[in-house]
Structure 1
Amino acid sequence: MNQLDPVNVAIALASVIFGPALAGVIGPYSVILIASTVGAAWALGRRDPSVRLGAAWYFLRLNATAVLVTVGLANLAGRWSGHDDVTWMLAPIALLVGGVGDDWPRLARWVFARAGRVIERRAGGDGGAS
């Protein structure tokens, strides 16, 4: 399969520098780091300017989070959507991880609240509406 997506381009570039054996690992993770850094830059723009002094720690924290969770999230999304090859999902998911920034707890509360409402509706509850 000869697709022009960020991961395949990164693998091709990494194979020139590191050789084909390492390129399969370095390429995808370089895309994850680049995408999460871009997302983190967007998230940093939402922060209070007085807090921006810790920008390096902020980027490191979000990039580390993206490196740890992006592949797993891409695999879950691939299984859910029925795709076998999920490498094309790495960049958008890493961008999302970085872009959410410090809003993860708020996003998690929103997701759990929505899931609770869906479960309640399926169980036959009326959600407190009278």
Structure 2
Amino acid sequence: MNAQQLDPVSVAVALASVLFGPALAAIIGPYAVILISATVGAAWALGRRDPAAKLSAAWYFLRLNATAILITVSIAKLAGIWLGVADHSWMLAPIALVVGGVGDDWPVVGRWLVAAAGRIFERRAGGDGGVQ
């Protein structure tokens, strides 16, 4: 008996294959999951912002969804290589959710990542952290 895949990407591909056929569904399904996940994340991020006009909120969603569509697959592939996982499609939804959820706080996340990388580099280099 074949084990059915119930991850969001497999479900989206199965649903899209009914509408678009199997060849197109393999492309549309993963990006549908990315778009839905990024939209949910953007909704959480929008809740942290000051109340804004409808046009501003629409622009916010469009900007975060476009960012997620452009970078999620690449991040998932890199994470899959780093983790040694051949099938990275299961990571698309959580990565897109995080991309949307971070919202306008990417500069803060970037500073945190640089500081964390600096601490790791310092530990590996045998630094004492400037303590004398």
Query: How far 1:123 moved relative to its partner?
Result: 1.5
Q: Which amino acid aligns with 1:26?
A: I
Match of 1:45 among 44, 47, 52: 47
Aligned to 1:115: 117
Deviation by residue 1:53-103 (Cα, 9 ceiling, x = unmatched)? 511000000000000110011111111111100111100110010001001
Does the 8 A contact of 1:11 with 1:26 survive in 2?
yes
Aligned to 1:62: 64
Counterparts in 2 of 1:1-130, with a 5 A limit?
2-50=4-52, 54-130=56-132
* Number of aligned residues: 130
TM-score w.r.t. the length of structure 1 is 0.94
Q: Which amino acid aligns with 2:10?
A: N
Bigger drift between 55-64 and 115-124 goes to 115-124
TM-score w.r.t. the length of structure 2 is 0.93
Q: Which amino acid aligns with 2:6?
A: L
Deviation by residue 1:2-34 (Cα, 9 ceiling, x = unmatched)? 311110110011011111110000000000000
Does the 8 A contact of 1:44 with 1:52 survive in 2?
no
Bigger drift between 104-113 and 49-58 goes to 49-58
Q: Structure 2, unaligned stretches of length 5 or more?
A: none
Query: Partner of 2:33: helix, strand, or coil?
Result: helix
Query: Partner of 1:49: helix, strand, or coil?
Result: coil
Q: Structure 1, unaligned stretches of length 5 or more?
A: none
Query: How far 1:129 moved relative to its partner?
Result: 2.5
| Identical residues among aligned pairs (%) | 72
